[in-house]
Amino acid sequence: MSHPATATLTTPQPAVFEAYLHRLQDRLCADVEDLDGRARFLRDAWQKPTDAKLQGYGTTCVLSEGAVFERAGVALSVVNGPALPPSATKTRPELAARPFKAMGLSLVFHPRNPYIPTTHANVRLLSVGDEAWWFGGGFDLTPYYGFAEDARHWHATARDAVGEVLYPRFKRQCDEYFYLPHRQEPRGIGGLFYDDFTEGGWDAALALTQRVGDGLWQAYTPIVARRREMAYGERERQWQLLRRGRYVEFNLVWDRGTHFGLQSSGRTESILMSMPPLARWDYDVVPEPGSAEAALLSDYLITKDWL
């Protein structure tokens, strides 16, 4: 990965990215409601108290018990604090005592039908005093049942969002990041992940991050359209809940964004918005050989060049 550098090529304009985040949140919420057709988002606007360690504001939008989505969340936050938390300074200790400003939009869609995958996306900007700034972001897909057509489409859209040069690097970083070491398995089939990104200067890094934010919907909705009417039963539902347990494990144990939010005294309800409404843990589950559940593990939750 690249490391944060002083912005020298173009003058940073965080307000431009902040305005984009507001537009992106409004657009995604409207699109999800149209696609779901039944449920509507609860919009929870919040402001940090003036005496809090962390200052700032945000809007957490949560949709529950929809026709398509059992839970969907789209959260925007703009905060600043006196010093970066430990999760953000492991590779840059020289910035540990510096005041920071962080802004970003995170989303997660947990579908009701087990044949529709869960998806997660994030775009963010972190700046440290007047010294450094860097972008991060990406999107990834967590299927419960594997379909090669869906995987190829997902990765083709990811490649189109960032270009032929950056895609292999961001895909590899996604595969490495969304991995559960204690389970020795990936969380899903990957996509894009990048952090500490300043390449090309402010304008280029901003434009790339906006393409990632805009690309998620283009990547996800054709998959929903193909799978939303597929019939399923209790077997598929219980497998979905079991695999959601892996999603919870990753977010709570390994995810740097979750750690950053909690360590910096962020808003807990917004940070844990990404949790599925239901999940389960069973002891030592081994799918039946030759089953669709076994195929997910052997053919999809692997490092693979889908294109």
Could you tell me the domains of the chain?
Answer: 14-300 (3.40.1500.10)
**Does residue 284 surpass a pLDDT of 70?**
yes
**Does residue 97 surpass a pLDDT of 80?**
no
Q: Quote the percentage of the chain above a pLDDT of 90.
A: 77
- Catalytic pick from 110, 120, 155, 259? 120
What's the order of all strands across the beta sheet hosting 69-81? 42-47, 55-64, 69-81, 100-111, 118-128, 132-142, 190-197
Separation between Cα atoms, residue 159 and residue 204, nearest integer Å: 17
What mean pLDDT comes out for the span 89-112?
83
pLDDT the model gives residue 7: 39
155 carries an active-site annotation: no
**Does residue 141 surpass a pLDDT of 70?**
yes
What mean pLDDT comes out for the span 120-133?
88
Indicate the pLDDT class of residue 219, thresholds 50, 70 and 90. Answer: very high
pLDDT the model gives residue 90: 63
The single residue listed with the structure tokens 């700046």 is: 127
**Does residue 224 surpass a pLDDT of 80?**
yes
What mean pLDDT comes out for the span 56-82?
94
pTM assigned to the model: 0.91
Rounded to 5, what percent of the chain is helix, strand, coil? 40, 25, 35
Round the average pLDDT of the chain to a whole number and report it. Answer: 91
Q: Quote the percentage of the chain above a pLDDT of 70.
A: 92
Indicate the pLDDT class of residue 2, thresholds 50, 70 and 90. Answer: very low
